[in-house]
Amino acid sequence: MDTTQDAPRQDFDVLVVGGGTAGCIVAARLSQDPQLSVGLLEWGPSDIDEPRALQIARWPELLESEYDLDYRSVPQERGNSSIHQTRMKLLGGCSSVNTMISWKPLASDLREWVGLGAQGWDAETILPYWSRVQAPITPVAEQDRNPVVELSLQAAVAALGVPRRQTWNDLPAGEDLTAGAGFFEIGYDPTTGIRSSASVAYLHPVLQRSNLHVILGRRATRLQVQGRRVSAVETVREDGVQERFHGTREVVLSSGAIDTPRLLLLSGIGPKDVLAEAGLDVVVDLPGVGENLQDHAEGITIFEVDLDIPDVRATDWDAGVLTTVDEGAERPDVLMHLPVTTVGDHVEAQGVQLPTRNVSMASNVAKPRSRGRVWIDSADPGAPPKIDYRYFTDPDGHDERMLVAGVRLARRIAAAQPLAGHVVREVFPGEDAHTDEEISRRERAVHQTVFHVCGTCRMGAAENPASVVDPSLRLIGLDNLSIVDASVFPTVTAVNPVGTVMVLAERAADLLRQRI
């Protein structure tokens, strides 16, 4: 594998920019053809010798670490302005730091995508790709199942009437997953604790391929465009040395929902008003770049309990509850995670003292309707991106209503046996928060991200001015540039998206093979 100190090859048939979840898969799959040279550019180092990335239980140690870009947002009108958005400069990307809660794409999400112009992304076409996913995914092992979390799951079944799920990804074809409670299916090896990141599962076994070149320590700063083609990708090393790399047949951007649109904008590709304000010439006027930002906002309900909570876990976020709130919903309205350890830093910042023995229920808005954006205000690649989630700004108040519903669902669970007998009191939002307005105000001040940002280079019909890529994932207006990462999602998935990102990348590899 090339390193920062090497003088690597610079010309490839296909150049993949970004060694995250999708980029690792695309590079591995395309390099199965020995006649095709594939280069993979990664901003950070390898994960091979980084135990914090390999051992899934150690993922919290990577947050705000030397690999974390730790992006911040502009002040939020109606949400938490103090969120740390983790993005990794490390091989494997988010799949090297997340909890690898892995869901087969929901048919209901795919129907929504097709309805928004993503023709060819219907369930019949896409779901078979789930069987191709090379990352081992398994239910949380018995030895990793926390007994206090189990009490919460039993109470959820009793209180909400949702089915107990032993598995989540084996529903009959065509059946929509809308409700359930259970330990999740995650990407890891229960015997070793090694995570099934895209890097571990796809790249590590094939690094010896002579036609695959993984080039580390290069940050892409600009795409050079000549006519309708990307002619070069400009990069910079940490020591300041600049280099250019070329994908003679195709360039694939897989830098994530923040850095993919950021790189396009730095290259003069995006809304002309944004480019003008940043002092950049317009190369391709593409209004949708950076728009349509979506994320799962996650509220929290905390209870003091009379139980000692044992240190038993796979990732700490091993179980949860899916449920609907609105009658007739075809997809989950609320996805509740049941962590072993309460993440209460935002709550404590509000002056709330957390008892030593507590359980929390973190409910996220599964299908948010609020839309934010990512943009730049400088032509300097070193300037941080501007991010505005615009949490809880949807006109009909759906997201706020689901945030409040999550708290009320958590209260119902805490009042049901076998958990109820161990609950001492509600710590947050507090037993004195009765009205929807009171609950909303407290929750919106402390809500967290689930790190599921997506949608900023949305896929859709080429004639739609909001689309950035067409359904073949090719950027509209250029002939040899594709995007393969969560930025192309028309809407955020109702569940954790890493499984859908892996399927997206598998599908993208097929689409790319057809045209290169």
So which residues are the catalytic ones?
A: 452
Give the amino acid at 390.
Answer: R
Q: Which long-range contacts (CB under 8 A, 24 or more apart) does 230-235 make?
A: 230/478, 230/480, 230/481, 233/15, 233/17, 233/41, 235/41
Closest by Cα among 354, 372, 365, 338 to 443: 365
Rounded distance between C-alpha atoms, residue 273 and residue 286, angstroms: 10
Closest by Cα among 112, 30, 99, 181 to 499: 99
Give the chain's count of helices (H) and strands (E).
Answer: 12, 20
Phi, psi of 181 (to 5 degrees): -140, 135
SS3 155: helix
Using CA atoms in the order 394, 259, 253, 275, what is the torsion angle rounded to 10 degrees?
80
As given in the structure block, the two tokens for residue 452 are 């599921």
CA 312 from chain centre, in angstroms, equals 26
As given in the structure block, the two tokens for residue 309 are 């909570």
Rounded distance between C-alpha atoms, residue 337 and residue 362, angstroms: 5
Rounded distance between C-alpha atoms, residue 361 and residue 387, angstroms: 27
Taking 3-state DSSP, the helix, strand and coil percentages for the chain, each rounded to the nearest 5, stand at 30, 25, 50
Classify each residue of 162-198 as buried b or exposed e, where b means 16 or more C-beta atoms within 10 Å of its C-beta: beebeebbeeeeeebbbbbbbbbbbbbebeebbbbbb
Closest by Cα among 360, 445, 451 to 406: 360
Classify each residue of 251-286 as buried b or exposed e, where b means 16 or more C-beta atoms within 10 Å of its C-beta: bbbbbbbbbbbbbbbbbbbbbeebbeebebeebbeb
Rounded distance between C-alpha atoms, residue 395 and residue 376, angstroms: 26
Phi, psi of 434 (to 5 degrees): -105, -45
Rounded distance between C-alpha atoms, residue 211 and residue 33, angstroms: 9
Rounded distance between C-alpha atoms, residue 506 and residue 510, angstroms: 7
CB burial of residue 46 (10 Å; 0-12, 13-18, 19+): buried
